Amino acid sequence: MTAYKILFLDIDGTLLRPDHTMEQSTKKAISQVQKQGIETVLATGRPIHEITELGTELKIESFIGYNGALALYKGEKVFAEPMDVKSVEYFLEVAAIHKHDIVLYSSTTNFFTSLESPKVKAFIETFDLRKNENYTDDNVGDILGMTIITDSETGNDRYSLEEGIHFSQVHVNGMRHCFDVIRDKVNKGVGIQVLLDRLGIPKSSAIAFGDGMNDKEMLSTVGEGFAMGNAHENLFQYAKHKTTSVTDSGVYNGLKSLGLIEE
């Protein structure tokens, strides 16, 4: 019987290829580990309300979303940590000065500072976001995470970050001018640790796959952390293993290397 009990999977650049499709080998790999009794969890920067259909397709019922700000285990909330109101207000103020856009995620809605700008429309199309509304101050206390849509790949340097907060550049082609706001104490690794503790699963029995810098805490938290071959160059130092790319059976080959895949 396998010693592995749980598998955490990032979405963009890990499960989904740049064209938003998934390799058959990835689906096959996930199905095989599920048949072995291994729990599977989607762990993503995306809002959970936008990935439930993907979960249904893959027979996955547990999620860590918003870069770790909300964790659901089979529909039950096990962790939730909205952003500090003052932090949200700061980013909104600076973004307005520099004419940047922001998407602010609640548990049900993607709130945009504008729905009309070309960069926002491209962002919505890239990530196939559907539950979109204009942001109002009434929503300030409900924000679980946010992404700053700047004007360049160094547009994040306009912001002075308070202690305990850092940026993670979105690791998707055409979206490198976008930056997730990550809290040191609220990230994928924290959400994973809460879930491991809840289920009584040791770190050594957990596996994770990721490709972006918002995955570094996740890969450091599990016993078997895999960086995809297409991962951000700075991510590999946080991973125990390197697998092939998302377009070359990366998840399949990684799980195969652990002896979990039958040909």
CA atoms within 13 A of residue 39's CA, in its CB half-sphere: 20
Query: What is the residue whose two structure tokens read 């550049």?
Result: 169
**What does the alpha-carbon distance between residue 230 and residue 210 come to, in Å, rounded to a whole number?**
10
In the chain, list all ranges with CATH 3.30.1240.10: 85-183
For residue 13, give the nearest of 126, 131, 101 by alpha carbon: 126
- Residue 67 backbone phi and psi in degrees, to 5: 55, 35
Q: What is the pLDDT of residue 262?
A: 84
In the chain, list all ranges with CATH 3.40.50.1000: 6-80+186-257
Decide which of 3.90.45.10, 3.30.30.60, 3.40.50.300, 3.30.1240.10 is the CATH code for 85-183: 3.30.1240.10
Give the tokens for residue 2: 């396998």
Which residues make Cβ contacts (< 8 Å) with residue 29, sequence separation at least 6?
251, 252, 255, 256, 260, 261
**6-80+186-257 homologous superfamily:** HAD superfamily/HAD-like (3.40.50.1000)
pTM attached to this predicted model: 0.89
Q: What is the pLDDT of residue 2?
A: 58
**What does the alpha-carbon distance between residue 158 and residue 120 come to, in Å, rounded to a whole number?**
19
- Residue 17 backbone phi and psi in degrees, to 5: -75, 170
pLDDT tens, the chain, 263 aa long = 459 999 999 999 999 999 889 999 999 999 999 999 999 999 999 999 999 999 999 999 999 999 999 999 999 999 999 999 999 999 999 999 999 999 999 999 999 999 999 999 999 999 999 999 999 999 999 999 999 999 999 999 999 999 999 998 998 889 999 999 989 899 999 999 999 999 999 999 999 999 999 999 999 999 999 999 999 999 999 999 999 999 999 999 999 999 999 87
**What does the alpha-carbon distance between residue 7 and residue 101 come to, in Å, rounded to a whole number?**
34
Q: What is the pLDDT of residue 1?
A: 44
Amino acid at 90: Y
**What does the alpha-carbon distance between residue 100 and residue 239 come to, in Å, rounded to a whole number?**
33
